[in-house]
Structures are given as C-alpha cells and as structure tokens.
Amino acid sequence: MANFLKFIFLAFFVLSLHAEEINDVEEFIEAVLDDSGRYPVRLLELGATNTNYQVMRGGKSYFFRLSGNLLKELYSRQDIEYRVLKKLENKKIAPCPYFFDPERGILITEYIEHDGVLVDLLDQNVQKAVCEILKSIEEENISLDRTFDPYLDISALVKKAKTPLPKELCEAALPIVQKISKKLSQFPKKTLCHLDLHHKNILKKDDRLFLIDWEYAAMSHPYHTLASMASIERWTDKQMWQILGHYTKEHTREDRECLYLYRVVSDLFWAAWCHVQMENPSTNCPYAEWRDLFKEAAKERICKLEMDDKKTDLYAL
C-alpha cells in the first residue's frame, strides 16, 4: 500500500512553512507512508475526506494529514486549510502549519496536545468562548479566495452525486435555496467562516480552545458558522437563539432571520454531502441515516418559512 501511495503522490510542487521545524521532511513523510516504525504513528481518523495521524519525532508530536479520494467531491480543500492556518498562526487559536504538498495531498501541522475530553457545546461558558474566538476572527478582516454561494455550492454537490437523490433534495429543495439565496443577499457581511465546526473540531488544552479542520472554510456571513454548527450538532431553534445571544448580545429579529436561513442552507448542504459520502465504499458511517436527518431538519424549517409568509412570527424575540 505504501508503494502505491508513493506512486500516486509524486511531488512536483511543495509549499512549506517553518521548514526548519522538520529536518529531512521527505524522510519524515516516507517513514510515515511506509509505516517503517522509525517514528511512533497513531491513526486518528480514517474517512473519505482524509486519513489523519499523530506522529512522534524528536520528542515532538505532529499532525499528519493525507487527503482522501473524495476530497474534491465534498467541497473540502486542503490548500484552503493550509492558507487559513497560515493566516491564523499568530492568533494561537488553531494548529501551527509546518508543511504542505498539494500534489501529494499532504499537510503537516502542530499536534495540539489537548485534554482528551470532548467539549460540551451546550455549556454556556464553552459557547461564550467559541463565540469570542469567532468574533476575534471577524475583527481580523481575513480574506480568502473562496466565497460560499448557497445555491451554486449545494447544486454542485447535488450534481456530483452518482446515484439519485431523494426528490426533496434534487427537485423541491434547490428552488427554495435559490429563493433563500436572494433573501440572504440582504445580509451582505462576509468574514472567514469555518463551516465545519462541531464538538470534535474544537480542542481544549488547559483553559484554551483551538479550532481544527479548516478545509471547508470560506467567506460567508459570520452567522453561517453558527448555523452550520447548529446543523451538525442538530440543535433546536431555541438552542440556536441561545448561541446567537452569545455572539451578538443585542441581536434583532433580522439577526434571527439571517441565522435561520443559513440553518436551512446548512441542513441542505450537509444532506447533499452525506449523500455523496454514501457512494464511498471505504467508510462505514451511517451516511444515509444522517442524510435523512439533515433533510428532515431542513424540511421542518422550510415548512415554518412557508407559514411565516402567512404572517406568523417565526423570529419573535
């Protein structure tokens, strides 16, 4: 397998940061791919998007990511992750990037020696801390050359599916997303958004939080990150309003509308994402079940939107 990987991932172009941190980087990469035992290697995660390792070398721990075979099909981009980590390096809220090779799909970063306990995103103090981090990112005015477009990006995922999607996704939902996109144009603010933020992508080290896995990052409204987190964590509307209150203390009805619309977008995006993941035989996750949960969540909120058109007060404070 290692020889096959080396044959596939021949390097033509390499980007690196702090290369002095990793002497003989090619020897380091070869040792990990060969599984030669020169360095202790621990598999962290095996999925369709990436395979992740913790590697010990010279008394230091590294995070080693090898991109998967569906990377381009799932909106995930490792070059985006690398550039975001470079931009956030001085803020100390994400892993420090050491090495990136786009041809081989290899990213090496600092390994966050975290507490080993999953954060509780329903904890009010954790929510406040996460919101403070997100607001600090917004204040940095960081730019990225990818902007999330609800209709175009969800449509692109739907088109990449090789097997038929449920009618609610491919026929009914896309016209609704198009209408939502027009409404969201009323909220033009754009900032760097994580868009895959959930309890497993937030690490706690002592009293600090670190945000990892930035490969889905894009420019979008800051509430989009909150909506995507609420979608993945499957929060209720009440729980969404709660974290919105931590992000924007004096939030308005318009703030709730923006967050709500991005929640529908997020539910539909992840439903389509799960459907594409279903087509990858290397994963055993219940993507069909997850797809249907996201789809039903979107359907429920779309029904509320239709009722709101009849002058119900969906975003009442």
Report which of residues 280 and 251 the model is more confident about. 251
* pLDDT tens figures, 42-54: 998 655 578 899 9
Host domain of residue 97: 13-110
- β-partners of residue 211 are 202
- Work out the pLDDT band at 277, boundaries 50, 70, 90: confident
Whichever domain contains 58, its CATH number is 3.30.200.20
Q: Are residues 132 and 73 in the same domain?
A: no
Residue 74 confidence (pLDDT) = 81
Residues 191, 292: one domain? Answer: yes
Percent of the chain with pLDDT over 70: 87
Task: Return d(Cα 40, Cα 288) in angstroms, integer.
Answer: 36
User: Which residues have CB under 8 Å from 238's CB, separation 6+?
Assistant: none
Same structural domain, 173 and 143: yes
Helix axes 222-233, 124-140, angle to 10 degrees: 150
DSSP 26-69: HHHHHHHHHT-SSS-EEEEEE-SSEEEEEEEETTEEEEEEEE-T
More confident residue, 224 or 304: 224
Q: Note whether 279 and 163 are within 8 A (CB).
A: yes
**In-domain check, residue 3:** no
Total number of domains constituting the chain:
2
Task: Write the pLDDT tens digit of every residue in 169-210.
Answer: 777 788 999 999 999 999 999 999 999 999 999 999 888 999
Residue 86, pLDDT > 60, answer yes
Q: Give the residue with greater pLDDT, 226 vs 315.
A: 226
Q: Give the predicted TM-score (pTM) of the model.
A: 0.89
**Do 249 and 183 fall within a single domain?**
yes
Average pLDDT over residues 268-278: 92
Instruction: Indicate whether 54 and 145 sit together in one domain.
Output: no
Is 255 inside a domain boundary? yes
Taking the C-alpha atoms of residue 241 and residue 255, their distance in angstroms, rounded to an integer, is 10
Domain boundary, last residue among 87, 110, 133: 110
Beta bridge partners of 63: 54, 109
Contacts of 66 (CB under 8 A, 6+ apart): 5, 33, 50, 51, 52, 53, 105, 106
Residue 146's pLDDT is: 96
* Confidence class for position 313, pLDDT limits 50, 70, 90: confident
Q: Is 1 among the domain residues?
A: no
